[in-house]
Amino acid sequence: MLTEERNRRMTETGPGTPGGDFLRRYWFPIAAVSELDKEPVQPIRLLGESLTLFRSLKGGLGLIAERCAHRLLPLMYGIPHESGLRCAYHGWIYDTEGTVVERPFEPTCPPLKVTSYPVEALGGLVFAYLGPEPRPLLPRWEAFIRDDLDRKMNFTPLPCNYVQCMDNSMDPVHFEYLHGHYGNYLLGLRDEPPAFNTASAHVKIDFDVADHGLIYKRRLLTGESEDGDDWTIGHPIVFPYMLASPTGSLGFQIRVPVDDTHTMHINYTTSQPKESGNPTEVIEHTELEVDSWGRVNRSAGIVVPQDMMAWVGQGPVMDRTKEYLATSDKGVVLYHKLLLDNIDRVGRGEDPFGVIRDGAKNEMLEIKKTTTEREGFNIPGALRGRA
């Protein structure tokens, strides 16, 4: 268990907090680029701060303050302009840097600038950086820079802190119970046969910390060899907020800290186009389903909703002063240590783990992949997933 102070330090996301200052050293995805075609002005909340994302008529991207400096109308009502964004109330125009460049009816215009942050487009997503200069490089993961892949992005807002999502990803042992035994139980409630072979169990787990924020979660199941990929390579996590696809297609589960009690979950998947040279993109927005008893939809056989049930079920911010960690929580302990150590590093003026500043090391970031699906739970292809 953690002390209340350490739990708060680890889970706070807002400006001026140790945890928030740490998170502001990373780039975060905030929107799908293509959705700016129909909604070129969007309200954004990230790391406890409310902002406005827009695309000017010339195509420039800006991320500026939530409200106009004049009469405080939310800029999400703004009108895209060649120079930037025009406030709908009195016509003040802000450029992509947040500088007021036009004020109708004002003969003299002393310089005025609102909050603004850098944004970049990559892999169909708009990424934002809310930290100090000089800013680090936006990591160029293979899934984001390949231009020959179909892409699907599913955005789901969650009423919980991002650390709960990442704790789950650092906990391999939950798979056999939450997605195995529990999955079969839910199928039984629907009078459907079991889909998971729960005879396999975890024998041992371990974790390797690598470059670029990578952590490889390794596991050995009953009946498997230590020469297998699940033990020699493992399932990759990208510190501090992504879980990578371990096999097959390139992709991530991205957990964006909205504020202390909310997370935007982006399921980012890719595949080879059905028509060569003609990649497609699908954007989906889903809401968490809750039944009449307030229970999160546990969708039998579908891994991600079962994970979301666990994350949200722990409360808006999990009270870790009351938990009892065990041997199976080795990865959770490691993740908490990395968080707290890197929060301290930022406090000393150092870069945290995974920040990249050398362009030669950022041309294309690749992740080691396992060559075959893990069959330890005998999950049918239509239901197969990793957590």
Helices (H), the chain: 4-11, 18-23, 142-145, 162-169, 174-176, 182-189, 229-232, 303-313, 330-347
- CA-closest candidate to residue 100, choices 121, 115, 118, 89: 115
Kindly report, residue by residue over 153-166, the tens digit of the pLDDT. 999 999 999 999 99
pLDDT above 50 for 383: no
Q: Is the pLDDT of residue 184 over 70?
A: yes
Query: Mean pLDDT for the chain?
Result: 91
Range 161-174 average pLDDT: 96
| 93: phi then psi, degrees, rounded to nearest 5 | -115, 130
* Crossing angle for the helix pair 162-169 and 303-313, to the nearest 10 degrees: 130
Name the least confident of 7-11, 142-146, 153-157, 224-228. Answer: 224-228
Mean pLDDT, range 184-204, rounded to an integer? 85
Mean pLDDT in residue range 161-181: 92
**What percent of the chain is modeled with pLDDT above 90?**
73
Please write the tens of the pLDDT for every residue from 38-72: 999 999 999 999 999 999 999 999 999 999 999 99
Do strands 251-259 and 119-122 pair parallel, antiparallel, or not at all (unpaired)? unpaired
- Whether 228 shows a pLDDT value over 90: the answer reads no
pLDDT at 384: 40
- How sure is the predictor about 186, in pLDDT bands with cuts at 50, 70 and 90? confident
The pLDDT assigned to 380 comes to: 35
Q: What is the pLDDT of residue 326?
A: 94
pLDDT digits (tens, 9 = 90+) for 73-126: 999 999 999 999 999 999 999 999 999 999 999 888 788 999 999 999 999 999
Q: 154 pairs with which residues across the strands?
A: 267, 284
pLDDT tops 90 at residue 237: yes
Inter-residue contact 288 to 297 (CB < 8 Å): yes
Q: Is the pLDDT of residue 286 over 50?
A: yes
The yes-or-no verdict on residue 21 having pLDDT over 90 is yes
Which of residues 333 and 297 earns the better pLDDT score? 333
pLDDT above 80 (res 249): no
Q: What is the mean pLDDT of residues 320-329?
A: 95
- What was the pLDDT predicted at 375? 39
Model pLDDT, residue 377: 37
Residue 144 CA to residue 269 CA, distance in Å, equals 10
Distances (CA, A) of 179 to 6, 164, 265, 307, 325: 30, 17, 19, 8, 20
**By the 8 A CB rule, do 334 and 234 touch?**
no
* Residue 224 pLDDT: 87
CB atoms within 10 A of CB 381: 6
Alpha-carbon distance of 279 to 172, in angstroms, equals 33
The domains of the chain, with CATH numbers, are 28-135 (2.102.10.10), 152-361 (3.90.380)
pLDDT at 387: 47
In percent, the amount of the chain with pLDDT more than 70 equals: 94
**CB proximity list for 164: less than 8 A, separation 6 or greater:** 310, 311, 314, 318
Distances (CA, A) of 134 to 21, 61, 110, 351, 354: 15, 19, 28, 11, 16
Q: How close are the terminal C-alpha atoms of the chain, in Å? A: 23
Predicted pLDDT of residue 378: 41
Q: Is the pLDDT of residue 229 over 90?
A: no
Q: Which residues of 131-156 are buried (b: 16+ CB within 10 A; e: fewer)?
A: beeebbebbbbebbeeeebbbbbbbb
Side-chain-side CA neighbours of residue 295 (13 Å): 5
Neighbouring-strand partners of residue 46: 49
Quick one: tokens of 318? Answer: 């999990």
- Higher-pLDDT residue of 372, 280: 280
